[in-house]
Amino acid sequence: MTSIGSCNNCGAALDPTLHLYCKNCGLLNEKMAADEGVVCDTHIENRAIGFCTVCGRAVCEECAEMAGKKFLCNEPEHKVYLEKWRLLHTFDFEYEAAMLYANLEQQNIETAVFTKLNPDASESAHRPNIVEVMVRAEDLDEAIEVVKTLGLIDMKDGE
């Protein structure tokens, strides 16, 4: 039986026995991180405290930036990216994301497919990347309606 808890940073649901980090904010699961020996991608002499929610890089206290409660690396464009784009759906494979991308673009909704490394060690053998379909913040509601109409993916409330 899994032990679902919540992230100490953002409150998102997570299983602390399975997840190396919070998929919502990027906070590192300290218990698993100690076992895995997670270090910062930029400062390999420093222990990581989280993962950038845009690119998936491990960050330490020295280079971590925050956007609200989300961890970012020190790439300035990542903050702008979070302000202008919203996550529509996450896929395991790029071809699934490409199908959704094509359908949204056909409806004149600007769309971006973003593939980032999945640092979660427990899933890395099954899913080496996380593929996100993003739309401009102002187009999110319209994109959700298009997706529901087309029946391409099962959109749950709050997704």
Residue bearing the bigger pLDDT, 156 or 85: 85
Would you place residue 93 in the very low, low, confident or very high pLDDT band (cuts 50, 70, 90)?
confident
58 contacts 68 by C-beta, under 8 angstroms: no
Q: Where are the domains of the chain?
A: 1-74, 77-150
Residue bearing the bigger pLDDT, 31 or 99: 99
pLDDT at 21: 86
What's 77-150's CATH class? Answer: alpha beta
CA atoms within 13 A on the CB side of 28: 27
Q: Which of these ranges, 12-21, 39-48, 117-126, 128-137, has the smallest mean pLDDT?
A: 117-126
Q: How far is CA 117 from CA 3, 55, 139, 148, in A?
A: 25, 7, 26, 28
Predicted structure pTM score: 0.68
pLDDT at 158: 42
Q: Which of these ranges, 18-32, 68-82, 98-112, has the smallest mean pLDDT?
A: 18-32
